[in-house]
A and B are shown apart, each in its own frame.
Chain A
Amino acid sequence: MNVQLRERPQTAPSSGVKTAIADCDIHPARATNDELYPFLAKRWHAHLETFGVHSYQGMMGGPPYPKAQPNASRRDAYPPEGGPQGSSLSFMQKQLLDPNNVALGVLNPLNTGQGIRNQDLAAAICAAVNDWQIEKWTSKEPRLKASVVVANEDGVSAAAEIRKRAGDPNFVQVLLLSRNVEPLGQRRYWPIYEAAQEAGLPVGVHAFGFGGNPITASGWPSYYIEEMVGHSQCQQTALASLVLEGVFERFPRLKMVMVEAGFGWAPSLAWRLDKVFSRLHAEVPHLKRKPSEYIRDHIWWTTQPMEDPESRDHLFQTIEWIGWDKLLFATDYPHWDYDEPSRVLPAGVSDADKQAFYLDNAKKLYGIS
Chain B
Amino acid sequence: MARHVIAPVDELPPGSRKFIEIEGRPIAGCNVKGEGCGLLNRCPHQGAALCEGPLIGLASSSDPGEIEYTKLGEILRCPWHGWEFDIRTGQSYCDPRRFRVRAYPVNVEPGTNLVKGPYVAETIKVAVESDYVVVEL
Q: Which residues of A contact B (CB under 8 A)?
A: 1-6, 8-13, 15, 68-69, 74-76, 336-340, 342-343
Query: Is B46 a contact partner of A10 (Cβ separation < 8 A)?
Result: no
CA distance A364 to B47 in the complex (A): 30
Query: Is A3 a contact partner of B46 (Cβ separation < 8 A)?
Result: no
- Chain B residues with CB under 8 Å of A69's CB are 79, 82
CA distance A68 to B83 in the complex (A): 11
Q: Which of A3, A8, A336 contacts B121 (CB 8 A)?
A: A3
Instruction: For the complex formed, measure the closest distance between the CB of A86 and the CB atoms of chain B, giving whole angstroms.
Output: 14
Stretch of B17-25, B99-107, B108-116 on the interface side: B17-25
Known: A3-B4, A5-B123, A342-B47. 11 other contacts (CB 8 A): A1-B22, A4-B21, A4-B123, A6-B21, A9-B49, A10-B52, A68-B82, A74-B48, A76-B48, A76-B49, A337-B81
Query: Is A8 a contact partner of B21 (Cβ separation < 8 A)?
Result: no
CA distance A13 to B23 in the complex (A): 15
- Chain A residues with CB under 8 Å of B7's CB are 5
B26 within 8 A of A: yes
CA distance A342 to B53 in the complex (A): 21
Query: Is B49 a contact partner of A11 (Cβ separation < 8 A)?
Result: yes
- The answer to whether residues A13 and B49 also contact, given A3-B22, A6-B21 and a CB cut-off of 8 A, is yes
B residues 80-136 with Cβ under 8 Å of A? Answer: 80-82, 120-124
CA distance A11 to B19 in the complex (A): 12
- Chain A residues with CB under 8 Å of B23's CB are 1
- Chain A residues with CB under 8 Å of B13's CB are none
B73 within 8 A of A: no
Q: Which residues of B contact A (CB under 8 A)?
A: 4-5, 7, 18-23, 26, 41-42, 45-49, 52-54, 79-82, 120-124
Query: Is B52 a contact partner of A9 (Cβ separation < 8 A)?
Result: yes
Query: Is A12 a contact partner of B82 (Cβ separation < 8 A)?
Result: no
- Chain B residues with CB under 8 Å of A5's CB are 7, 18-20, 123-124
Query: Is B54 a contact partner of A75 (Cβ separation < 8 A)?
Result: yes
Q: Which of B4, B80, B121, B124 contacts A338 (CB 8 A)?
A: B80
CB nearest neighbor in B for A342 = B47
CB nearest neighbor in B for A68 = B82
Query: Is A1 a contact partner of B122 (Cβ separation < 8 A)?
Result: yes
Query: Is A8 a contact partner of B47 (Cβ separation < 8 A)?
Result: no
CA distance A212 to B41 in the complex (A): 42
- Chain B residues with CB under 8 Å of A343's CB are 45-47
Query: Is A13 a contact partner of B42 (Cβ separation < 8 A)?
Result: yes
Query: Is A10 a contact partner of B41 (Cβ separation < 8 A)?
Result: yes
Query: Is A340 a contact partner of B26 (Cβ separation < 8 A)?
Result: no
Query: Is B80 a contact partner of A10 (Cβ separation < 8 A)?
Result: no
CA distance A359 to B110 in the complex (A): 55
CB nearest neighbor in A for B53 = A75
CA distance A138 to B49 in the complex (A): 29
- Chain B residues with CB under 8 Å of A1's CB are 22-23, 120, 122
Query: Is A339 a contact partner of B122 (Cβ separation < 8 A)?
Result: no
Q: Which of B42, B45, B48, B124 contacts A3 (CB 8 A)?
A: B124
Instruction: For the complex formed, measure the closest distance between the CB of A6 and the CB atoms of chain B, giving whole angstroms.
Output: 5
- Chain B residues with CB under 8 Å of A4's CB are 20-21, 123
- Chain A residues with CB under 8 Å of B124's CB are 3, 5
Instruction: For the complex formed, measure the closest distance between the CB of B24 and the CB atoms of chain A, giving whole angstroms.
Output: 10
- Chain A residues with CB under 8 Å of B47's CB are 12-13, 15, 340, 342-343
CB nearest neighbor in B for A305 = B81
CA distance A342 to B124 in the complex (A): 35
Query: Is B122 a contact partner of A2 (Cβ separation < 8 A)?
Result: yes
Query: Is B120 a contact partner of A3 (Cβ separation < 8 A)?
Result: yes
Query: Is B80 a contact partner of A336 (Cβ separation < 8 A)?
Result: yes
- The answer to whether residues A8 and B52 also contact, given A3-B4, A3-B22, A3-B124 and a CB cut-off of 8 A, is yes
CA distance A69 to B56 in the complex (A): 13
- The answer to whether residues A3 and B49 also contact, given A69-B79, A75-B54, A336-B82 and a CB cut-off of 8 A, is no
Q: Which of A3, A13, A336 contacts B20 (CB 8 A)?
A: A3
Instruction: For the complex formed, measure the closest distance between the CB of B4 and the CB atoms of chain A, giving whole angstroms.
Output: 6
Q: Report 20 cross-chain contacts, Cβ distance below 8 Å, ordered by A residue.
A: A3-B21, A3-B121, A3-B122, A5-B7, A10-B49, A11-B49, A13-B47, A15-B47, A69-B79, A74-B79, A75-B80, A76-B80, A336-B81, A337-B80, A338-B81, A340-B47, A340-B48, A343-B45, A343-B46, A343-B47
